[in-house]
Amino acid sequence: MKKEDLKLAEKLLKEFNKYIDDLQRMGIDLIETPLFDCFGKLFDLLIKTNYRTEGQDWINWFFFEKGDTGLKAFDGKGREICRDFDELYSIVEDYER
């Protein structure tokens, strides 16, 4: 997958999450709806179509777990990796289909 396409997927995911958060603040909960589920399935399909399991895992970790939480990932030598989008892309390039 081209870097700019994965970056666009990240941007769209952030926009979607912002809309969900905005709606929740107004008392509208879409998380347990088919709409929310459908978006998740489409995102998974996009990632699975372009990356093997290891790449999918890194993308999901970066987008859904790391986020702004401060979580870190380290290589076998104890060096921090996957600190930003560019490093994520360098890692997942090795796992493209």
Residue-level pLDDT at 60: 94
Give the domain extent around 90.
3-95
pTM of the model: 0.85
More confident call, 68 vs 59: 59
What domain count does the chain have?
Answer: 1
Mean pLDDT of 59-70: 90
What are the pLDDT digits (tens) for 27-47? Answer: 999 888 998 899 999 999 999
Q: The dihedral of CA 77, 69, 48, 50: what is its sign?
A: negative
What would the mean pLDDT of 60-79 be, rounded to a whole number?
92
Report the C-alpha gap between 41 and 47 in whole angstroms.
10
Could you tell me which residues are beta bridge partners of residue 96?
51
